[in-house]
Structure 1
Amino acid sequence: MAGFQFLWVISVDSLSHSTWSRDHNIFRLTLRNGKQWLFDRVRNAGVIELRETIDDFDYCKAFALHVEVNNLELDEFPTICKTYFIWYFREGQYLRDLNLTMLIVERYFRNLAPEDDGLDVSLIDIYDIFPSNPHHTHPLLLRSGQHDRNDWVGEVRRLAHMRFLRLLMKLQSSGWSLIFITRKREEQCNATTKELISAGYGGWASLIMRSDDEMQMDSWKFFNKRRAELLNQGFRMASVISSRMDALTGPCLGKRNFKLANPIF
């Protein structure tokens, strides 16, 4: 019936004559017409749940945006989206989305040229380079029983880092000044600088970090405050680039701002 989704619970044995592949707890079946289905094994039972990929994936992707906009807790993520969170990373969709959003940035700047005074800047949220705690296992991975899969998580992070570095190198080579901003406190400045240099970054105009007073602020207020200070200092903000909504909220934004694919989903 149109407009409805169906859920089947079937035995694994009933799929024995079909072509399907297993990736840990996630199964994939490709039908003759090219349509794909994902399967999620039910723990402690000899059954799997079958859900149509497209409908549920689109719902979970839309809900992820809802989570970002409303700053919801991960506990409010629907249970059905845990499987698709893993799929989003493992099957390369996150990296494809990230590449597409970065292509949009590159094509925008391709036809622009900064002034020679060094005041045309792009504000870069370095959360997309180094998460606040890069060794922390994502809560959704823990709840999905994937906390021991650090090998593929590390590979996704490595490829995302390489793509981000390539974008920033293109901006720098075109003459744009890069100002890095982070949610970390100022006491971590030396360690953060070493991490950036070790990862291949260099030549940034400045690194903005939180003072003790700013640690008590909501992050979006911190970003607003620091953007306003840059404009008051005479900088012309060409763009703000981040995967997080808090960095892209409020006044004093750039002429063009870019929301990158978010690794939360």
Structure 2
Amino acid sequence: MSAYAHQMERQYSAGSLSSGSEMGSRYIVESGFYMTSFAATIFITGLVTAGVLLITLLVSLAVMLQSCQSKHAGVIELQSMNDYYSYCKICAMHAELNNLQGYNLPKVCRAPAIRYVKGGQYAADLDSTMSLIEDHFSLVKPSDDVFGVVLIEIDDLFSSYPHSSGWLHRFNNYGVSECMKEARNSKLKLVLRLYMNLKSAGWPIILLSREPGTQRNVTTCHLISAGFRGWSSLMMREDYEDSIRGNEYIIRKRNVIEGKGFHIKSIISHLMDAVMVQDPGMRNFKLPSPLCDEFEHQMEIPVAPY
């Protein structure tokens, strides 16, 4: 082969290599995966659903946390109010034990006293006491003592103070008047229920009032209007008993009853001096008393809303 031929072959080989290099550079290997449109739709839907669930969970946790905080704050407030009322109830009880007429409770007691009635706790305590009395009389029958009678004090069932409209308006500004009205209505309803049950069981019932005998007709009208019927006797204060107060008045009336041959099996009253009269075979019950009526003569400043 001639020198010219060898030169042409070398040029052809070089050109072929150069052309091969240029062709090889056009192929690039890329990383990734292939996904159909249906699979992509499902994947995106799943992401959206997970996001919505996460947001819902966060909102629920926030609401639950706020609710727990509100309940916790309410428990603290209730405990504080109960502490105030317990303190005030102790003050009132010791004033009653020592027969302190016209004792003024601390002004801080006014709001807890109103809340005790308006919040329904007084009605609940009254109902529990009535259940206790009814349980006792379910075991004790009139036939056990044919001369046995039940003595029920009635003075706090009806308002005995003919106040003027201006007085009532001023009282309403403190919420005390409504408190007293609601308390009397609750007690009247449950005492009437107890009275009817005792009458149905055959117990003779003596109603006791500390009001003067001059109010007998008014008191009788109140009793009949409220639904009381068929009591054995209505005992009221005689003229010569004007100066007699507290436990001495109850003892005097008990002696009158027993002097007629009857035995008092139970005294039911909201006053401590009445139920402190002790006698063998006697079972006495004290009805819960709201403190709002203790502010009858204490109207200097209004209290915060309850």
Partner Cα distance (2:172, 2:108) in 1: 11
> Does the 8 Å contact 2:206/2:233 carry over to 1?
yes
State yes or no: 1:62 paired with 2:85: no
> Does the 8 Å contact 1:128/1:242 carry over to 2?
no
Deviation at 1:185, TM superposition (A): 1.1
Deviation at 1:216, TM superposition (A): 1.7
State yes or no: 1:202 paired with 2:254: no
Matches within 5 A, 1:1-265: 30-32=70-72, 35-37=75-77, 52-73=80-101, 75-115=103-143, 119-133=147-161, 145-146=173-174, 150-151=177-178, 153-250=180-277, 255-264=282-291
Matched residue type, 2:211: K
Matched residue type, 2:253: R
Higher strand share: 1
CA deviation profile, 1:150-204 (whole Å, cap 9, x unmatched): 4554334223211110011111111111000101111221221121111100110
Q: Which residue of 2 aligns with 1:7?
A: none
Partner Cα distance (1:222, 1:158) in 2: 27
Compare CA radii of gyration and give the structure with the larger one: 2
Partner Cα distance (1:205, 1:35) in 2: 48
Partner Cα distance (1:183, 1:164) in 2: 18
Partner Cα distance (2:214, 2:174) in 1: 33
Partner Cα distance (1:146, 1:109) in 2: 40
> Does the 8 Å contact 2:152/2:269 carry over to 1?
yes
Partner Cα distance (2:231, 2:183) in 1: 25
> Does the 8 Å contact 2:142/2:203 carry over to 1?
yes
Partner Cα distance (1:131, 1:143) in 2: 14
Distance 1:136-1:153 versus aligned 2 partners, 3 A rule: farther
State the TM-score, normalized to the length of structure 2.
0.64
Paired-residue identity, %: 37
Partner Cα distance (1:193, 1:61) in 2: 32
What are structure 2's unaligned runs of at least 5 residues? 1-65, 293-306
CA deviation profile, 1:106-154 (whole Å, cap 9, x unmatched): 11001111128852100110114224437689x9x9689415x645543
Matched residue type, 1:37: E
> Does the 8 Å contact 1:123/1:181 carry over to 2?
yes
What are structure 1's unaligned runs of at least 5 residues? 1-17, 20-28, 39-50
Partner Cα distance (1:112, 1:228) in 2: 23
Matched residue type, 1:261: P
Give me the CA root mean square deviation.
3.2
Question: Which has the bigger relative contact order, CA under 8 A and spacing at least 6?
Answer: 2
Partner Cα distance (2:233, 2:144) in 1: 18
CA deviation profile, 1:241-264 (whole Å, cap 9, x unmatched): 000123223455861000110133
State the TM-score, normalized to the length of structure 1.
0.73
Which 4+ residue blocks in structure 1 deviate beyond 6 angstroms?
141-144
Deviation at 1:205, TM superposition (A): 0.2
Partner Cα distance (2:232, 2:146) in 1: 9
Partner Cα distance (2:92, 2:70) in 1: 26
Higher helix share: 2
Aligned length: 224
